[in-house]
Amino acid sequence: MDNRTEMHRRERRRYVIGYGGSLLLTLLMFGVTYQYGIETVGVYLTIGLLGLAQLIVQLVYFLHIDRRRSSREDLDLILFSTLVLLIIILGTIWILGNLSIRMHMHMM
Amino acid sequence: MKRAPTHSYPGINLGHRHASADKAAEVVTFGFWVFLMSDLVYFGLMFAIYITMIDAQAGGPGPHDLFDLKSVFAQTLILLTSSLTVGLAMLALKYNQPRARIVLWFGVTLLLGLSFLALEIRDFMAMAEKGGIPQRSGFLSAFFGLVPLHGLHVAAGCLWLIVMGIQLRVMGMTDLVISRVVRLALFWHFLDLIWIGIITIVYFGGLTYG
Amino acid sequence: MTSPESGFFGRLNWDALPIVGLIQDPNANEIVANTAAGIVIVGVVAVVSLLTWFRLWGPLWRDWLTSADHKKIGIMYIVFAIVMLARGVLEGVVMRAQQAAGPGDGFLEAEHFAELFSTHGTIMIFFVAVPFVFGIANFVVPLMIGARDVAFPVLNQISLGLTVSAGMMLMVSLVVGEFSTGGWTAYPPYTGAAFNPGVGPDYWIWAIVVSGVGTTLTGLNFAVTIYKLRAPGMKFMRLPMYCWTIICSSILLIFAMPPLGVAALLLAADRYLDFHFFTNDLGGNMMNYANLFWLFGHPEVYLLVLPAYGIYSEIFATFSAKRLYGYNSLVIATMSIAIMSFTVWLHHFFTMGQSALINAVFGIATMLIAIPTGVKVYDWMATLWRGRIRFTVPMLYGLGFLMLFVIGGLSGVILANPTVDYQVHNTLFLVAHFHNVLLPGVLFGLLAAYNYWFPKAFGFRLNEFWGRVTVALWTIGFMLTFLPLYFVGLMGMPRRSFSWEDPSFHPYMIVAVIGALVILAALLSVLAQLWVSIRDRGKTMAPVGDPWDGRTLEWSIPSPPPPYNFAIIPQVTDRDDFAAAKEQGRAYPKPEAYEDIEMPRNTGIGFILCVLSGVWMFALVWWIWWLAILVTALIVLAIIVWSFDTSTELVIPAEEVRKEHEAWLDLVHASTAINRDHETASENRGLARPDLEAVT
C-alpha cells in the first residue's frame, strides 16, 4: 500500500513539474511579446524556440516519452512522424514559396 | 518476453495492477498513438497551408486587425490547466482514489474545456464583426480551416469526457474504462501540443509575417 | 454555396434520372448512359431476388455482414473489388471505342467522356486496387504472422463498411445525377463551384473522404497487427517478405491518406461554404491543391505496388522451392522505397512553373527510386536461378510481371527527367506509363495472389487451364492496349481527348481498342475460371492445407482455416518457419494441451456505419441538410451506444478446439504426400513431400 501511495505521489509530482514548466514557458512567450513587440525576426525566433521547448516539456512530463528502453517504440513512431511531417511541410513551403515569387502573387 | 516492470507500452501506463488487461491495453494504446500521428499530419498540412497563405489577404483584414492576444493568452492557460486536471483524473482512477475525487477532476476538465471553447467562439464572433470571415480571403480561409479544426477536436474531447463519466458510473472502474480514460488523457495532451503550435505559428507567426 | 431555394429534398428532382434525358433527346450518348444505369439497377434487383429466392439473407447477415473475422472481411473486400473492376474495365473499353472511331468522330459527348475517365480512374485506384490489396492482406497477414485476428477486428469491419459505402456512391451517381468530369485528381478551379456548380464533384469529394477514412483505419490496423501480434519468436528479420511490404504500405496509408482528406475537405469548404482555398479570386491558390493531392498521390502508387512486390516474393520463392534470395536487401529496398516515396511528389507537376532547381531535385529523387526497385528485380531473378521451378498460374503472372514491369519502370525513369516531362506531359505516353506499372505490377500481382491463396481460403484449387487462358489474355490485352499509347503519346496525342484530328493516330487507336476487347475477354475468363473451379471442385480439394509446398505459417493449418486460425499459437524459430519445420520433420506437431480461445463476437456496427455513411454522403451531395445533420447525430450516437457493449468476446472451449484439430491431424496422417510433379493433379490433397534435389 505504501509503495502504491509513493508511486502515486511520484507520478503526480511529474505532472505538477510539467505543468509548472509549461506555465513558465507560456509566460515567457507572452512576456517577450509584451516587452519587445512582435515585429522582428529575433523576437519571433525566441518565441519559436520557447514553443519548441514547451512541446518537449509536455512530451516528457505529460506524455511520458523518454529515452527509457521500454518506451522506445513510440519515440521511434514520433521521430518517424516528425521526419515525414518535416518533409511534407518544408517541401510545401519551398515549392509554393518559390511559385509565389515566380508568379508575382500577392504583390497588390 | 521480459519487460520493464512499470512501462510495458508507450505513454501513460496502467501499471502492473492490471496485468491481465495489460497486453490488450498495450496494443490499443499503441494503435491510438498511430491514430494521433495520422491526425497530426492533418494539422501539419493545415499549418503548411496557413504559412503559404499568410500573404493571401486580398485586401481584407489581416492578423493585426483581428488577433486578440489577451484572449489567446487566457485560452492557453485554460487549456494547459485542463491538461493537468485530465492527468490528475487519470491518476486518481489508476490509484483507486474515491470516486468523488475522480468525478471532481473530470468535471473541472470538462468545465475548462467548455470555457476554452466559449472564449474561442467569442473570438471568432469578434473577428467576424471586423469583417474577418472565412469567405473574405485565402488567409482567413486558412485560419478558419485550422483553428476551428482544433476547436472541433476539443469539442469531441468534451463529448468523450461526458461519455467516460457516464461509463464510469454504469460500468464501474473496469480495466476497459481505465484504458479508455488513459487514451482520453493522451488525446487531451495531444490537443495541448497542437495548441502550442497554433499560438506559435498562427498567432505569433501571423503577427510577425502577416 | 448554399442555395436558399433548396427544398425538402435539397436540389434533388426528377431531372437527376438519366431516363429523363433519354426521353427528351434520344441519341447514342444517352443510350450509353441509360445502359449503364440499367446495368446497376438490374444488378441490384438480380442480387436481391437471388438472395430472397435461395433464402440467403439470414446466412448473409450472420456469417458475413456482421462477422469480424479477418478472413471473411478479406473475401468481402475482394468480391467488392472484382465488382468494381468489372465496371472500370467496361468504362475503359467504351473510352477506347470512342477514341478508335476515327478523327473527329465518336458516339459520346465530351461531358460523358469526361465522366468516364473520371470514374474509371477513381474506381480503379480507390475501389479496385486499394480494396483488392487490403482484401488479400486481410486474409493473409494474420495467418502469416501466426495471429488469430487483426489487432482491431471491429475497426476492420468498419473500414470495409466505409470503403463499400463510398464505392456504392459511384454506382448511385450512375443512376441519380452525374459524376465529376474533373478526372480522378479533380483539380480546382475547374471542380470549384464557379465552374462546376453541379453534383459531380461533390460525389467525388465525399466518396474520397469516406473511403479515405476507412483506408486510413485499415493502415493503422495492419501496422499495429504486424507490429504487435506476431507469434512468439517471429522477430522482424524472420517476418515473411509479404508482411514487410504490408507494414510499409500501412505506414504509407497512415501518413499519405491525410493529405488527400485535407485536399478533398478544403475543396468541399470552397464549394459548400464559399471559402477561398483554391478559387481564382480573393487569394485562393489552386497550386496548393496540386501540391496536396500529390503529397498523397505519389505514396499511393507505392502503397499499391509494394504489396504486389511482396506477393511476387512469396510466389517466386514457393514455386522455385528455394529460400528468397537476398532477404535483407529486399527488406532494405522496401523500406527505402517507402521513405523515398515521400520525397518525389513534385514530379507529377513539373510543368507548374517552379524553378529548375526544384524540378531537378525532385527529378533526381525520382530516378533514385529505380535503384531499390532494380535491386528487387535482381533478387527475384536470383531466387528463380536453379530453383525447382513450376510454371503454375501465379508463377506465370510473376514472369509476365518481371518482363513487362521493367518496361513500365524504365519509362518512369524517362518521365522523371523534367526536360523530357515537359515534352510528354499530359500525353498518352503518361497514360501508357502508369498503366504499364499498374497492370503488370499491381493487377497481375493481385490476380497471382488470388490464384495462390484461393485454395487456402476455400479448400480447393482454381482451375489451371482457365487460369493460363486468363494470364495469356491479360498479357496480350495489356500489350495491345497500352504499348501503342507510348507511340501516340510521343506523337503528341493529349490524354483525356474525347476526339482527335490527326489521321496518323488512327491505326494505333484501332490496335488499342482490339486490346481493350482482349482485356474484356480476360475479365470474363477470370469469372469463367471461378465458375469452372467451383463446378469441378471435387477434383481439386486440398483440405490438408499445403498444396504448393508453401514456406510460411499460413500453409501449416487446414484449408479453409478454422475461425481461430491456429489451435495453438506456433513458436517460430526460423525465417520461412514452415519450410524449415518440414525439412526437420517437425511439421504438424500434436499439441500437448489446448486452451480456451477468445474470439471477437459478431457485431452489426460496421454495417450500420456503412448504411449511415452512405445516406450521409447522399444527403450532402444533394444538399438535403436536415438529413445530413440527422445522420451525423446518428453516427455519433451509434458509436457511443456501441462503446457501452462489453460482451464483445466469444469463448471457444478447449474441448471443441481439440476435437477439430485432432480430426484434421488424423486427415494429415491419412493423406498421401505428393511431390512437385503432381502439384496440379487431382491427387494433390494439400500434403507436400519436399523434393530432395531442391535444398535451400
Residue A92 pLDDT > 60, yes or no? yes
What is the three-class DSSP state of C541? strand
What is the separation of C-alpha B153 from the centre of its chain, rounded to a whole number of angstroms? 6
Find the mean pLDDT for residues C636-657. Answer: 92
What value does the mean pLDDT of chain B take? Answer: 89
Say if the Cβ atoms of B196 and A70 lie within 8 Å.
no
Q: How many residues does chain A have?
A: 108
- Here the cell at position C558 is 487446414
Lowest mean pLDDT among B69-83, B88-102, C210-224, C328-342: B88-102
- Give C325's DSSP letter: T
Which region holds residue C589: left if phi is over 0, alpha if psi is between -120 and 50, else beta?
beta
Provide the sign of the torsion angle of the four alpha carbons C3, C8, C14, C18, taken in this order: positive
Note every long-range contact of C186-191, with CB atoms under 8 Å and residues 24 or more positions apart, other chains counting: C186/C118, C186/C264, C186/C267, C186/C293, C187/C286, C187/C289, C187/C290, C187/C293, C188/C267, C188/C270, C188/C278, C188/C279, C188/C286, C188/C289, C189/C278, C189/C279, C189/C280, C189/C284, C189/C286, C191/C267, C191/C271
Instruction: Verify whether the Cβ–Cβ distance A64 to B13 is below 8 Å.
Output: yes
pLDDT for res B54? 93
Which tens digit of pLDDT belongs to each residue from C402-437?
A: 999 999 999 999 999 999 999 999 999 999 999 999
pLDDT over 90 at C71, yes or no: yes
Query: Does B143 reside within a domain?
Result: yes
Residue whose C-alpha is closest to residue A105's, from B64, B139, B134, B146 = B139
Has residue B2 been placed in a domain? no
Out of C228, C255, C273, the one facing B30 most closely (by C-beta) is C228
**Apex CA C352: angle with CA C346 and CA C358, to 5°?**
50
Which residue is associated with the grid cell 516528457?
A: A60
pLDDT average, residue stretch C338-361: 95
Residue in the structure block whose three cell numbers are 467451383: C534
Q: Which domain holds residue B140?
A: 16-209
Q: Give C287's contacts in chain A (Cβ within 8 Å).
A: 96, 99
Chains with ≥3 CB–CB distances under 8 Å to A:
B, C
Least confident of B16-25, C164-173, C183-192, C479-488: B16-25
Three-state secondary structure call for residue C597: strand
* Grid cell at residue C575: 525465417
Distance from CA of A67 to the nearest CA of C (A): 20
pLDDT band per the 50, 70, 90 thresholds, residue B10: very low
Which positions in chain B touch A105 (Cβ < 8 Å)? Answer: 55-56
Query: Count of CB atoms within 10 A of residue C678's CB?
Result: 12
Q: For chains A and B, count residue pairs whose Cβ atoms are closer than 8 Å.
A: 141
User: What are the distances in angstroms from CA C255 to CA A80, C127, C161, C264, C349?
Assistant: 10, 19, 21, 16, 21
- C-chain residue closest to B42, CA distance: C258
Q: CA-CA distance, C539 to C131, in Å (whole number)?
A: 31
Yes or no, beta carbons of C282 and B30 under 8 Å apart: no
Q: Which three cell numbers stand for residue C143?
A: 495467418
Angle at B153 between CA B150 and CA B157, to 5 degrees: 140
Q: How far is C291 from chain B (nearest CA, A)?
A: 10
Specify the CATH class of C56-603+648-678 in words. Answer: mainly alpha
Q: What is the pLDDT of residues C213-248, one digit of tens each?
A: 999 999 999 999 999 999 999 999 999 999 999 999
> In the beta sheet, which residues pair with residue C541?
C460
pLDDT in tens, C322-344: 999 999 999 999 999 999 999 99
In this prediction, residue B94 carries a pLDDT of 83
Question: Secondary structure of chain B in the HEC alphabet?
Answer: CCCCCCCCCCCCCCCHHHHHHHHHHHHHHHHHHHHHHHHHHHHHHHHHHHHHCCCCCCCCCCHHHHCCHHHHHHHHHHHHHHHHHHHHHHHHHHCCCCHHHHHHHHHHHHHHHHHHHHHHHHHHHHHHHCCCCCCCCHHHHHHHHHHHHHHHHHHHHHHHHHHHHHHHHHHCCCHHHHHHHHHHHHHHHHHHHHHHHHHHHHHHHHHHHC
Residues C366, C416: contact at Cβ < 8 Å? Answer: yes
pLDDT > 60? residue B192 = yes
What was the pLDDT predicted at A71? 61
Interface test with C, best of B34, B53, B167 (most C CBs within 10 A): B34
The Cβ of residue C159 has, within 10 Å, a number of other Cβ atoms equal to 30
3-state class (DSSP) for residue C196: coil
Q: Cα-Cα-Cα-Cα dihedral of C100, C106, C108, C111, to 10°?
A: 90
CA distance C636 to C642: 10
Model confidence at B4: pLDDT above 50:
no
Q: Which of B36, B139, B189, B208 to mutate to test the interface with A (most CBs of A within 10 A)?
A: B208
Would you state the pLDDT for residue A67? 67
Render pLDDT for A5-62 as a digit per residue (tens, 0 to 9): 888 888 889 999 999 999 999 999 999 988 888 878 889 999 999 999 999 999 988 8
Q: pLDDT exceeding 90 applies to what percent of chain C?
A: 87
Looking at residue C332, what is its pLDDT? Answer: 96
Give me the residues paired with residue C10 across strands: C7
Distance CA B207, CA B204 (A): 5
Report the C-alpha gap between C176 and A81 in whole angstroms.
42
Residue C496 near residue C118, CB atoms below 8 Å:
no
Enclosing H/E stretch for C599: strand C597-600
Say if residue C141's pLDDT is above 60. Answer: yes
Phi and psi for C284 in degrees, rounded to 5?
Answer: -65, 155
What are the distances in angstroms from CA C564 to CA C460, C474, C647, C660?
A: 20, 36, 18, 11
Percent above pLDDT 70 for chain C:
98
In eight-state DSSP terms, residue C216 is H
Residue B5: the pLDDT is 37
Question: Rounded to whole angstroms, how far apart are CA atoms C281 and C269?
Answer: 15
| A34: closest chain B residue by CA | B69
Distance CA C584, CA C586 (A): 6
- The confidence band for C644, taking pLDDT boundaries of 50, 70 and 90, is very high
Contact between C175 and C618 (Cβ < 8 Å): no
Which one of C235, C288, C635 makes the best mutation probe of the B interface by having the most chain B beta carbons within 10 Å? C288
Considering CB atoms only, which of B10, B37, B94 is closest to A71? B10
- Asked whether residue C597 carries a pLDDT value surpassing 80, the answer given is yes
Mean pLDDT of A69-93: 85
* C-alpha grid cell, residue C585: 520433420
A9–chain B nearest CA distance, Å = 10
Taking only the tens place, the pLDDT of each residue in C517-558 is: 999 999 999 999 999 999 999 999 999 999 999 999 999 999
Closest CA to C628 of C608, C613, C610: C613
* Local confidence band at C2 (pLDDT 50, 70, 90 cut-offs): very low
H or E stretch including C591? Answer: none
C355 and A98: CB-CB below 8 Å? yes
Instruction: Judge whether residue B18 has pLDDT over 70.
Output: no
Give chain C positions within 8 Å (CB) of B55: 283
CA distance C625 to A15: 45
Best to test chain C binding among A78, A80, A92, A99 (most C CBs inside 10 Å): A99
Say yes or no for a CB contact (<8 Å) between A96 and C346.
no
CA nearest C341 in A: which residue?
A: A84
Which three-class secondary structure state does DSSP give residue C315?
helix
Is ipTM beyond 0.95? no
**Mutate: best of B38, B49, B162, B177, partner C, most C CBs <10 A:** B38
**Closest residue in A to C291 (Cα–Cα):** A92
pLDDT digits (tens, 9 = 90+) for C619-629: 999 999 999 99
Please calculate the CA angle C686-C690-C691 and round it to the nearest 5 degrees: 130
pLDDT at site B21 = 61
**Alpha-carbon C34 to chain mean position:** 28
Q: State the Cα–Cα distance between residues C141 and C71, nearest whole angstrom.
A: 10
Q: Which residues contact C54 (CB under 8 A, 6 or more apart)?
A: none
Helix (H) or strand (E) holding C295: helix C286-320
pTM of the model as a whole: 0.94
Residue C656: partners with Cβ closer than 8 Å, 6 or more residues away: none
Q: Is C677 on the interface with B (CB under 8 A)?
A: no
Nearest neighbour of A93 by CB, restricted to B4, B52, B91? B52
Q: Given CB atoms, is A38 within the 8 Å cutoff of chain C?
A: no
C-alpha C527/C-alpha C533 separation (Å) is 10
Partners of A83 on chain B (C-beta within 8 Å) are: none
pLDDT at C263 over 70: yes
Q: How far is C283 from chain A (nearest CA, A)?
A: 8
CATH code of the domain containing B104:
1.20.120.80
Q: How confident is the model at residue A108 (pLDDT cuts 50, 70, 90)?
A: very low
- Give the mean model confidence (pLDDT) for residues B162-166: 94
Residue B24's pLDDT is 78
Q: How many domains does chain B have?
A: 1
* pLDDT at res. C5: 54
Task: Please report whether residue B114 resides in a domain.
Answer: yes
Which pLDDT tens digit goes with each residue over C454-465? 999 999 999 999
In a domain, residue B10? The reply is: no
* pLDDT level of residue C692 (50, 70, 90 thresholds): low
For every residue of A1-29, DSSP letters joined together read: -HHHHHHHHHHHHHHHHHHHHHHHHHHHH
Pick from C301, C253, C107, C267: which is nearest to C180 by CA?
C267
- Extents of the domains making up chain C: 1-55, 56-603+648-678
Q: Is the pLDDT reported for residue C80 higher than 50?
A: yes
**Cα distance from B5 to chain A (closest Cα, Å)?**
9
- CA-based Rg of chain A, rounded to a whole angstrom? 20
Chains that touch B (3 or more CB pairs under 8 A): A, C
Q: Region C106-135: what's the mean pLDDT?
A: 95
CA distance C163 to C683: 40
Distance CA C240, CA B66 (A): 57
- Given a cut of 90, whether residue A64 has pLDDT beyond it is no
Q: Which residues does chain A have within 8 Å of residue C352's beta carbon, measured at their own beta carbons? A: 99
Taking Cα atoms as reference points, which of C541, C561, C543, C551 lies closest to residue C587? C551
**Interhelix angle C70-100/C153-175, nearest 10 degrees:** 30
- Mean pLDDT across the stretch C561-582? 93
Q: Which alpha helices (DSSP H) does C545-643 contain, by range?
A: 577-583, 605-621, 625-643
Pairwise pLDDT comparison (C568 vs A108), residue with the higher score: C568
Can you give the pLDDT at residue A74? 74
CB contact under 8 A, B41 and C258: yes
